Structure 1
């Protein structure tokens, strides 16, 4: 057979869904939805061949973090993911500031996968598993007991979840006399700026609270608040955990989060009390960048210590792991830098002997990206799922499993890119954030922004 015929025969059998070498980015647009479970800025990257890449900015963040990158990307081939990531990486930052770079990176992978006809996990080097364990974060509104939380968690177990998490901290005791010791007015300010209160008012955030003294109070780091737990307060929280375990038993992993901005000495004392309740991890017990604080806490108790959802880039996890400050790291794919940074971080976990769980409190776009990344990482505890009680969440993305989880696990998709066929535009329209109206509106104001981006002279 002639060489030309062989090449033609090969070309006929290659699953290429476009002309990848000629693919170009033509536009980037956003739609802001609310209540999934929080404000989620969704991203679409458009191309000259009709392919659309889906991405998302970190939960409760701003679409501006993504749109500001548009002029650096239009006209480029999205399949050159590494090249483009290196160009825009300098505009990312920790916590929500990482959301634009990370969300764009996910969109680029989605386009590359669609162009070449392969799933994201394959482009990361292949998969280690066909199913990913999902752990379920659970909230109980209003004044409640540990028994109430235990019953809520028991329902999660009945739904098939095999790993659980709950909030446990000073917000449970803000109205309990004698449980907390704090500078005058501090606790009242925290009540006014409670993140739960803001989340419950998702469409009507009090801008005066956001910009006023309550905002300043809430941004004081743990060691500088002057807030202490009294022995009565520690008794109260310990009894809450005991009640939870009395309902759900001791066989299932239970992690805890949102302890509060409390001094590390009190955190250590209380962590020691928790040792007998078989806690999977205690999360974000100090600001992540205070490595010495984490090392001190980790060396003082036998509870696994966890942090990481606010860390941008895999390299910034190294000090915590090198110094023994964490047993579990908890990155968010929409802060860490996207899928490839998650893969790199998984490799670092093997180097330092640290476990990984993935934070995820966003739409199905971020969820599918996290599942792909979790499949491509050698060892993974679980991926968070925070939207069990949102009946329309799964319907936002067409072509994914519905429900996304079965007996506590999610299937790793084999479809190209993220595995999402399309978005449910009617459903998105029903849940557009009223403070950010418009659905995939033109973003021409970002077309020609230019700056001397080079970081060196």
Structure 2
């Protein structure tokens, strides 16, 4: 064994000598190999010597793929810029630049405001991006539930991307390693009024696109025009969908228990027929989740859920607002179908009550809201200890998607990750993969094994084609966000 190891070391020495000769021709500013190893070790690559090999040879072998043009301990954040694309309405992409020319990419959650991220620029300028947890604690207070966490999470994503690039390793490695090489996806599919048409689309998802987990929109919008299907829906102009948020007293902005919309037996029969057609098309082997039911109260949630029990849905999602933990527990105890919530919850602290009280069967964080890669892994790990599974919600750009892939790879109790843009032909083209594998293969995301950071880079041409009209700039300078003007401490 030692002979083989010695041959590896000798071969590596020869390869290193060839590389160093080439590097010397390209630049006179590169750190020496000894100096790099010293800085890398001080920056956190603490490794034991390999079976009698010197520490220098050990480091040379085990860090052979580390970016020689990066001295991680000397990295400093120098800028943050934004480009907003037309993805699920609008999705801001941030780029954090450094003094060494490498940069990190992040994604403000779909439907969020780029200013949630830009206001954090002054808090992180001059800092070392590899100190991810330290920087997260500095900016954490500026996030909140829903889209308001988008800025904090975008920065956290970009920091892990930068840290991985600096040390030459994938983000999942920085989270403690991976459990899987591929990540199972569920395909989110908007509903059709014609159940047969919808069933055909769902069948294509499995037979052509290769998905092994599906999700559908299922709710009162499907039966709203049927006579006597609902009570009190006419009072709410726009009650067909949850996205009527024109004002704070609109249907979509009113918490579920306060609309008093009720489902009648005819409505339940119509929804049951709809699900029956879908199940007949895709069968029972495929897990089938459901979402977007409408804003009705806990009693109607139970009536609806019981009508769906026979179809063995994988979960019923967001039936009541996530903060009503006791109501969730009541719904979950009343149904055989698993319950699921979490896409709007910020930080592990927000999930603990749901998990501790076994109020839902599946937690469903959105990494663009929940706190980023490390915080979402902490959420998953905590849920695992309590016997609760984790699926992951995602409707962002491919950058956020890949951040989710790394987190899912590093979390054991993971079930499935949402792919929200299956039908958007240019979505994958927004980025290029920096490793050897494609982003997705037949319903599974490939975990980057040979690419640092998040494993993607921007496709500038495609990004420019899909810039949002209200923010047409492509990573323009943002000096107006450089200055910090407030005292951020939360205690005296």
The normalised TM-score by structure 1 is: 0.91
C-alpha separation between the residues in 2 aligned to 1:7 and 1:302? 58
- Structure 2: runs of 5 or more not aligned: 1-33, 36-53
Counterpart in the other structure of 2:47 = none
Whether the 8 Å CA contact 1:37–1:390 is kept in 2: the answer is no
Counterpart in the other structure of 1:164 = 214
Q: 1:194 to 1:264 in 2, by over 3 A?
A: closer
- Deviation sequence 1:37-78 (CA, Å, 0-9, x none): 431110100000000100000011111110010000010000
Counterpart in the other structure of 2:50 = none
Counterpart in the other structure of 1:201 = none
- Deviation sequence 1:157-207 (CA, Å, 0-9, x none): 011110000000011122222111116521x2335x763xxxxxxxxxxxx
Whether the 8 Å CA contact 2:149–2:370 is kept in 1: the answer is yes
Counterpart in the other structure of 2:289 = 255
Counterpart in the other structure of 2:83 = 31
Counterpart in the other structure of 1:99 = 150
Whether the 8 Å CA contact 2:191–2:217 is kept in 1: the answer is no
The range that moved more, 277-286 or 445-454, is 445-454
Whether the 8 Å CA contact 1:394–1:403 is kept in 2: the answer is no
Q: Determine which of 57, 81, 86 is the counterpart of 2:132.
A: 81
Whether the 8 Å CA contact 1:146–1:242 is kept in 2: the answer is no
Counterpart in the other structure of 2:71 = 19
The reply on whether 1:416 has 2:452 as its aligned counterpart is yes
C-alpha separation between the residues in 2 aligned to 1:290 and 1:185? 25
- Deviation sequence 1:80-135 (CA, Å, 0-9, x none): 00100000000010010111111100100000000011110000000011111111
1:139 Cα deviation from its structure 2 partner: 1.5
Whether the 8 Å CA contact 2:205–2:211 is kept in 1: the answer is yes
The reply on whether 1:152 has 2:187 as its aligned counterpart is no
Q: Determine which of 344, 350, 369 is the counterpart of 1:310.
A: 344
Counterpart in the other structure of 1:439 = 474
C-alpha separation between the residues in 2 aligned to 1:135 and 1:170? 23
> In structure 2, the residue corresponding to 1:42 is in which secondary structure?
strand
Which 4+ stretches in 1 moved above 3 angstroms?
4-13, 209-213, 400-403
Root-mean-square deviation (Å): 1.8
Q: 1:224 to 1:115 in 2, by over 3 A?
A: same
Q: Determine which of 75, 91, 94 is the counterpart of 1:40.
A: 91
Q: Determine which of 352, 377, 383 is the counterpart of 1:343.
A: 377
Q: Determine which of 160, 169, 173 is the counterpart of 1:109.
A: 160
Whether the 8 Å CA contact 1:134–1:405 is kept in 2: the answer is no
Counterpart in the other structure of 2:441 = 406
The range that moved more, 391-400 or 66-75, is 391-400
Q: Determine which of 176, 186, 189 is the counterpart of 2:238.
A: 189
- Deviation sequence 1:317-354 (CA, Å, 0-9, x none): 11111112100111111111000011111111211111
The reply on whether 1:60 has 2:96 as its aligned counterpart is no
The reply on whether 1:365 has 2:402 as its aligned counterpart is no
Whether the 8 Å CA contact 2:247–2:253 is kept in 1: the answer is no
C-alpha separation between the residues in 2 aligned to 1:173 and 1:64? 39
C-alpha separation between the residues in 2 aligned to 1:210 and 1:407? 36
Whether the 8 Å CA contact 2:139–2:152 is kept in 1: the answer is yes
C-alpha separation between the residues in 2 aligned to 1:189 and 1:165? 23
The range that moved more, 216-225 or 357-366, is 216-225
- Structure 1: runs of 5 or more not aligned: 196-208
Whether the 8 Å CA contact 2:218–2:271 is kept in 1: the answer is yes
Q: 1:117 to 1:232 in 2, by over 3 A?
A: same
> In structure 1, the residue corresponding to 2:93 is in which secondary structure?
strand
Whether the 8 Å CA contact 1:397–1:424 is kept in 2: the answer is yes
Q: 1:432 to 1:268 in 2, by over 3 A?
A: same
Alignment of 1:214-253 (within 5 A): 216-253=250-287
C-alpha separation between the residues in 1 aligned to 2:427 and 2:322? 30
> In structure 2, the residue corresponding to 1:383 is in which secondary structure?
strand
Whether the 8 Å CA contact 2:380–2:413 is kept in 1: the answer is yes
Higher gyration radius (CA): 2
1:24 Cα deviation from its structure 2 partner: 0.4
1:300 Cα deviation from its structure 2 partner: 0.8
C-alpha separation between the residues in 2 aligned to 1:53 and 1:411? 20
Whether the 8 Å CA contact 1:24–1:77 is kept in 2: the answer is yes
Q: 1:344 to 1:27 in 2, by over 3 A?
A: same
C-alpha separation between the residues in 2 aligned to 1:46 and 1:419? 17
Alignment of 1:262-277 (within 5 A): 262-277=296-311
Whether the 8 Å CA contact 1:372–1:418 is kept in 2: the answer is yes
> In structure 2, the residue corresponding to 1:189 is in which secondary structure?
coil
Counterpart in the other structure of 1:202 = none
Whether the 8 Å CA contact 2:395–2:418 is kept in 1: the answer is yes
Whether the 8 Å CA contact 1:140–1:152 is kept in 2: the answer is no
The normalised TM-score by structure 2 is: 0.85
Corresponding residue pairs, total: 434
1:210 Cα deviation from its structure 2 partner: 5.3
- Deviation sequence 1:370-404 (CA, Å, 0-9, x none): 00000000121111111111111111111257853
- Deviation sequence 1:289-334 (CA, Å, 0-9, x none): 0001101101111110000010000121111111121001111111
